[in-house]
Structure 1
Amino acid sequence: MNYDSPSEAIAEFERLYGDAVRPDPAPLTEAEQQAVRAHAEASTTPPPDAGRAGRA
């Protein structure tokens, strides 16, 4: 298809795909959710010697 102006092309795109376009990022996949949970668990559990770090 050829369009006479960018606004014509954008209008056609919105007409064809407007329902499928999301204003936000796509939802996380199951693997991404698992990674977020694993990272959260690891970052909230201090290492065994964390209380002694930096002390002489």
Structure 2
Amino acid sequence: MNLKEFNENKINPGKPHSWVVFDTTSGKSKEIVISKKDFDKYEVIDDGDGDYPTVRKLK
């Protein structure tokens, strides 16, 4: 599921305009902020219990 779908399925759907996530695209986990316009560019690997999802950039 991508981050956009993840956002829509949350307790407060569509509320966050950005997510703080752990990006593992480079092979190392790095904390970044993704804005709403880029949600569909990232795949959620682990939902982090809804707080800090782990994501990877889609190719």
Instruction: State the TM-score bracket (shorter-chain normalisation).
Output: under 0.3
User: Which is greater in Rg?
Assistant: 1
Q: Name whichever structure is richer in helix by fraction.
A: 1
Q: Name whichever structure is richer in strand by fraction.
A: 2
TM-score normalised by length of structure 2? 0.16
TM-score normalised by length of structure 1? 0.17
